Amino acid sequence: MKKIKVLHKSFSKPISCLTAYSPSIANILDGVIDLILVGDSLGSTLYGMKNTQGVTMDMMKRHGAAVNKEIKKSLKVLDMPYKTYENKVDAYKNAKILLDSCKPDLLKLEINKKKLVILRHLVSKKINVISHIGVTPQSYKNFSKIKILGRTNKEKNKLLNLAKESENVGAKAVLLECITADTAKLITENISIPTIGIGASKYCDGQVLVFDDLINLSTKNKKPKFVKNYLNFAKIANIAVKKYNREVKLKKFPSVKFTYN
């Protein structure tokens, strides 16, 4: 399971991927989920940022290292943050920092045509990379401006070519974000490396979600259409918090069972 070959098209079942930003969550996911992603979505999820552009190398290093301690079986993926791979020199320097401090199996970069040269350079340095195409959140200051891609033939062909070029320069997989189902199907059928989708339909070779969205940890933000809640943690936690508060007020907690003699 710890081999990159899990990312081959011949892998027997679709690839599952979830985010983790803390050791406790990583421990829950390890060995159950194929890929565990320390994503720059931690900016909005943990730090209350409006976008991912404020996520720093220090944040990724800190959370990446913390998560790494708990992962023994799943593959570890780490996002390179905004503006850390604008040129080949910076990209390799920052990639090395993340690899040395967090020990991920793969790094993920948001790619456009201009950044293919950077992807190629990292691959030439024997770094395993996932190419993130389609909607690339680091490009947006305001997520409300995000629009689904692949609805026109021009967009379809542009995304297909970018996926093919990502494969040609050596990407291990392509992550497709917020693209139409027929475009995702077209790409998946025309490249030999796996596609992992988020808001990109069942036609991908795998799927990724933010763990906090999966369990409905935050009820404040409107969730994208592609998010499915598998557990209403916010509701369950609210019940527990109210019970705790009531017991404290009534001096039922701590009882003798929870007291040292």
Peptide linkage before 137 cis (omega within 30 of 0): no
Q: Would you call 177 a catalytic residue per the annotation?
A: yes
DSSP at 155:
H
CA atoms of 113 and 169, how far apart (whole Å): 12
Fill in the amino acid letter for 221.
N
3-state DSSP helix/strand/coil % of the chain, to nearest 5: 45, 15, 40
Closest among 86, 24, 22 to 59, alpha carbons compared:
22
* Residue labelled with tokens 């369990």: 215
Closest among 46, 113, 114, 118 to 80, alpha carbons compared:
118
> What is the DSSP track for 9-65?
TT-SS-EEEEE--SHHHHHHHBTTBSEEEE-TTHHHHHH--SSSTT--HHHHHHHHH
Closest among 143, 86, 78, 132 to 105, alpha carbons compared:
78
Check 86, 155, 177, 247 and give the catalytic one: 177
DSSP at 179:
B
The residues carrying an active-site annotation are 177
